[in-house]
């Protein structure tokens, strides 16, 4: 269906209200959204909490629930991209409206690009708040320790390993009980320290997708930011330690600002932290523990954590079956990283097949390393990191007098010469754009030193 026609036919998206139900162990949210003239939506969140503290009457908690709803709106607003978002259950000042408008615009960059939509930032959406200020009691509590969002991939494991010295004050945070994330947390010893949230999409949205209304990628990590902050409040945690690396800053489309990982970027991290500090919970700090590190450093750390090799999963295609599909860009990217440090048989044991000898994957390899115009729309490293991983893998095989394999050989034939990189160079990489507190930053540095000490 046509973007312009849908906006004309359905000019108003309404955020009517949110409803909270709470008991000693659960905190449930139901949202009321509407595309006027088309459909109503009632997505839900169910948070697990500890103790008998009542949060539903606290102003800051209600502000967080309201804000989480504004992120959740994105999945439903994008169905018609209505030019007017009418907010009936809260107030935003001009600076807040500008903040949300930026998130919608850049967070939906891939959605606009894939659907061949060229929105004008000034008028693609207006946010009109017609509700009252959110009211409630003041929440007074102490915040201690770390909440670690876990997705089940190598990055989450590395964060769990870095923070192992602080285990007693850590909790793992998992959305929708993704089994790979749960297995990851259990493998790291967090079986009794898991904080769950279940997010349920409204089936009516999925039905409209099937009917041909607009659909596509939404900024999932922006939802994680607000959901994890609410979980941190419900569980009294001070630090939210994400596992987003420096490569999340790179645009997906060459010579453009479209970034599949926008809500994992440092720009969004800073924006969110500033927003939360000013308008939500100044006591809580939100940052990525891996922001200073490159993908190759993270992979090196993970390569030493053999206890996790059989349980980690990063493949979105195979996530429900807890498998590596071995045909997507994410699988190939992670395989290339692992192949730079692990032996062939170890890689095959992890992934189930030798992806380096699958010639059908070469077009994806070209996209990953910059020999094609655009990167895959996946959470993968920079083009330079992929090239470095390939070079390390080829160099390792040459030293071991092993066949290169189809993908390495085709790549070498195409580029002619390798840009060699040493392990010392990789170890020395460091990105100063981060917001990590010093006491945790020292743990990151210690783990890098440990991983590269052979």
Q: Give the tens place of pLDDT for each residue, 229-251.
A: 999 999 999 999 999 876 655 55
Backbone angles phi, psi at 276, to 5 degrees: -65, -40
CA distance 356 to 202: 41
Q: Domain for residue 295, yes or no?
A: no
Q: What is the pLDDT of residue 376?
A: 61
Q: Domain for residue 235, yes or no?
A: yes
Among 288, 303, 337, give the residue marking a domain's end: 288
Q: What is the pLDDT of residue 258?
A: 65
Q: Domain for residue 213, yes or no?
A: yes
Please state, in angstroms and as integers, the Cα–Cα distance from residue 112 to each residue in 78, 201, 257, 263, 348, following that order: 10, 21, 12, 15, 37
Residues 225 and 367 in one domain: no
Q: Domain for residue 350, yes or no?
A: yes
Q: Domain for residue 258, yes or no?
A: yes
Average pLDDT, the chain: 91
Q: Give the tens place of pLDDT for each residue, 300-340.
A: 999 999 988 988 888 888 777 788 999 999 999 999 999 99
Task: Kindly tell me if the per-residue pLDDT of 180 is higher than 70.
Answer: yes
Q: Domain for residue 300, yes or no?
A: no
Q: What is the rounded radius of gyration, in angstroms, for the C-alpha atoms of the chain?
A: 23
Report pTM. Answer: 0.93
Residues 152 and 227 in one domain: yes
Q: Domain for residue 299, yes or no?
A: no
CA dihedral 66, 49, 262, 207 (to 10 degrees): -70
Instruction: Report the greatest alpha carbon distance in the chain.
Output: 71
Residues 209 and 326 in one domain: no
Residues 275 and 318 in one domain: no
Residues 319 and 282 in one domain: no
Among 254, 288, 322, give the residue marking a domain's end: 288
Residues 279 and 319 in one domain: no
Residues 282 and 320 in one domain: no
Task: Kindly tell me if the per-residue pLDDT of 143 is higher than 90.
Answer: yes
CA distance 329 to 79: 27
Question: Per the structure block, which two tokens stand in for 424?
Answer: 């010392």
CA distance 72 to 270: 20
Task: Kindly tell me if the per-residue pLDDT of 371 is higher than 80.
Answer: no
Q: Give the tens place of pLDDT for each residue, 198-230.
A: 999 999 999 999 999 999 989 999 999 999 999
Q: Domain for residue 296, yes or no?
A: no
Give how many domains the chain has, as a whole number: 2
Residues 399 and 265 in one domain: no
Residues 341 and 273 in one domain: no
Task: Kindly tell me if the per-residue pLDDT of 7 is higher than 70.
Answer: yes
Least confident window among 32-46, 96-110, 363-377, 379-393: 363-377
Determine the structural domain holding residue 42 and report its residue range. 3-288
Residues 278 and 335 in one domain: no
Residues 144 and 245 in one domain: yes
What percent of the chain is modeled with pLDDT above 90?
73
Confidence of residue 282 (pLDDT cuts 50, 70, 90): very high
Residues 187 and 242 in one domain: yes
């Amino acid at each position: 269906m046509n973007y312009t026609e849908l906006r004309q036919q359905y000019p108003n998206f309404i955020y009517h209200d949110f409803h909270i139900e709470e008991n000693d162990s659960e905190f449930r949210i139901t949202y009321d959204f509407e595309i006027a003239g088309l459909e109503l939506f009632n997505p839900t969140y169910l948070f697990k909490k500890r103790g008998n503290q009542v949060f539903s009457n606290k102003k800051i908690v209600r502000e967080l629930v309201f804000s989480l709803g504004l992120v959740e709106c994105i999945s439903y607003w994008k169905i018609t991209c209505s030019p007017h978002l009418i907010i009936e259950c809260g107030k935003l000042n001009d600076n807040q409206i500008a903040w949300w408008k930026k998130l919608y615009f850049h967070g939906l960059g891939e959605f606009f690009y894939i659907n061949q939509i060229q929105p004008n930032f000034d008028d693609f959406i207006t946010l009109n708040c017609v509700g009252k200020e959110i009211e409630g009691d003041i929440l007074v509590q102490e915040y201690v320790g770390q909440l670690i969002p876990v997705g089940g991939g190598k990055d989450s494991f590395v964060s769990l390993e870095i923070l192992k010295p602080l285990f007693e004050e850590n909790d793992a945070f998992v959305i929708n009980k993704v089994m790979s994330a749960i297995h990851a947390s259990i493998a790291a010893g967090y079986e009794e320290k898991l904080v769950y949230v279940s997010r349920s999409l409204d089936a009516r949205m999925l039905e409209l997708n099937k009917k041909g209304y607009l659909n596509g990628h939404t900024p999932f990590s922006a939802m994680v930011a607000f959901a994890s902050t609410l979980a941190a409040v419900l569980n009294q945690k001070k630090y939210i330690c994400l596992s987003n690396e420096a490569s999340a800053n790179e645009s997906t489309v060459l010579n453009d600002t479209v970034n599949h990982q926008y809500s994992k970027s440092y720009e969004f991290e800073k924006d969110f932290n500033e927003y939360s500090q000013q308008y939500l919970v100044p006591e809580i700090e939100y940052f990525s523990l891996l922001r200073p590190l490159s993908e190759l450093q993270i992979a090196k750390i993970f390569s030493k954590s053999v206890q996790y090799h059989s349980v980690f999963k990063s493949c979105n295609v195979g996530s429900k079956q807890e498998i590596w599909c071995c045909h997507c860009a994410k699988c190939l990217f992670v395989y290339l990283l692992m192949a730079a440090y692990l032996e062939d048989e170890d890689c095959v044991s992890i992934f189930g097949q030798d992806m380096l000898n699958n010639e059908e994957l070469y077009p994806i390899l070209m996209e990953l390393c910059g020999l094609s115009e655009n990167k895959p729309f996946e959470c993968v490293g920079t083009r330079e990191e992929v090239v470095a991983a390939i070079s390390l893998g080829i160099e390792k095989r040459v030293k071991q007098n092993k066949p290169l394999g189809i993908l390495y050989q085709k790549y070498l034939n195409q580029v002619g010469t390798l840009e060699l990189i040493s392990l010392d160079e990789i170890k020395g990489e460091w990105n100063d754009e981060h917001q990590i507190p010093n006491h945790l930053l020292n743990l990151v540095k210690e783990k890098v030193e440990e991983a590269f000490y052979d």
